[in-house]
Amino acid sequence: MKLYKIVAKDIMRRKRRVLYAALGVVIGTMTVVGVLTIAFAGQARIYRQLEQYGPNLTVIPAINSLDMKLGNLSMGTLSVGENYIQQDQLPKIRQITDGNIRKALQIDDDGDIATIAPALYENTRINGVSVVVIGIEPETEKMVKTWWNIHKGAYLNGSDQALVGAIAAELLKLNVGDKVTLNNDTFTIAGILEETGSGDDYQIFAPLPAVQQAFNKTGMISSLDIRALCNSCPVEMIADSINQSIPGVRAVAVKQIAKSEMGLLEKMSNLMLALGGITLAVGLFGVINTMMASVNERIKDIGIMRAVGASRGQIIRIFIYEALIIGILGGVAGYLLGTALAYLIGPLVFEGVSVSFVPQYFPLALAVSIIVAVVATIYPALRASRIRVADSFRAI
């Protein structure tokens, strides 16, 4: 039998008091873990998107009216009414883009560098359901949307074919081989995309010329995705040059949007962390309080232990052991509850974010709650160690 067994037995007798002390630690740790886990999920999402869209630019008409999204990043609004980019401006945009890249990276090669993917957005109804049809250049789009995977069927391989987003296929009850009428023309569904978690899931894709023809929009496009292919490409500079030299279009570097979103997230998670810290501090005082009460409640027991040979150090150790148990309980519970909290609140903070366990926060949670519990116990333990045996018995 060892000292810790005395502590364990005593804790079993005073379960409620100990749990009450642990509660303070649990709430603090839970808040910190919850905040970190949500921030982690949000950050992971933004990083993922930054990686996908990082070297990208989007070019849209200067007048906007329709909500447009790229992934989950809002790209402002886009008009589909009368405002289009003329397809004949494409070579000029390419010239500016490639020119800038050549200058920045000192490339002499004459060939195309950036991938420029035009798209025409049109609204239509299929089986009475409103849906966005996007005309694309199949080969370039594939290079831009590297995360696309075919769930069923095949990729676009003919002018009268269509590719359907996962959710759109489900909602419209479309399957490979089905025929759909898009405005003037009929298309055959070649394939269905795997779910991407982006707006693509809700849309239908078909070759650009065919869509232009079907909707009587020959020579017109709604937007351009430019993939510069290198992370150090001067996308902001390209955007500036396009905006300055081509009237009626607006070029935006996706990086800028992601950056500002990331900055906001950082500010927010710092604020939440500060709140978590305050909760932790409150928890600390809670533990100090409970521990002081526990010392007062056990004055007699401490006196007994002192009378039968416990040293001051051993009395302190008894309380520190108790603090360790409280800290471990608080850490485990705080981690689990914090993660659960993130699961509940995460989707409210970031739409569509998938919160997951962050295992590396477990040792962190454990360390934080053990430190809080032990720090909170130092003063009460010192007080306990100074109890005089004779006084403790007189107090009865």
Partner 1 sequence: MLEVKGISKIYGEGTVRVTALDNLTLRVDDDDFMAIMGPSGSGKSTFLNVIGGLDRLSSGEVVLDGRRIDNLDENALVDIRRGKIAYVFQQYHLLPSLTALENVLMPLIFCGRGADEKDALYMLERVGLGKRSGHKPGQLSGGEQQRVAIARALVNSPSLILADEPTGNMDQKTGNEILELFKQLNDEGRSILMVTHSPEIARQAKEIITLRDGRILTGPTKN
Residues in contact with partner 1 by CB under 8 A are: 1-3, 5-6, 9-10, 12-13, 300-301, 303-312, 314, 388-390, 393, 396
Nearer to partner 1, 92 or 300 (CB): 300
Least separation in angstroms between CB 298 and partner 1: 10
Nearest to 300 by CA among 215, 392, 222: 392
Least separation in angstroms between CB 26 and partner 1: 24
251: left (phi over 0), alpha (psi -120 to 50) or beta: beta
Nearer to partner 1, 176 or 304 (CB): 304
Show Cβ contacts of residue 117 under 8 Å, excluding neighbours closer than 6 positions: 136, 137, 140, 141, 143, 144, 224, 225, 226, 227
Nearer to partner 1, 11 or 143 (CB): 11
What backbone phi and psi angles, to 5 degrees, belong to 46?
-65, -40
Nearer to partner 1, 337 or 384 (CB): 384
Nearer to partner 1, 10 or 160 (CB): 10
Nearer to partner 1, 6 or 150 (CB): 6
Cβ atoms of residues 11 and 262 within 8 Å: no
Report the C-alpha gap between 60 and 65 in whole angstroms.
11
Least separation in angstroms between CB 319 and partner 1: 15
Report the C-alpha gap between 346 and 269 in whole angstroms.
12
CB half-sphere exposure, 383, CA atoms < 13 A: 16
Least separation in angstroms between CB 350 and partner 1: 49
Report the C-alpha gap between 238 and 228 in whole angstroms.
10
Least separation in angstroms between CB 297 and partner 1: 12
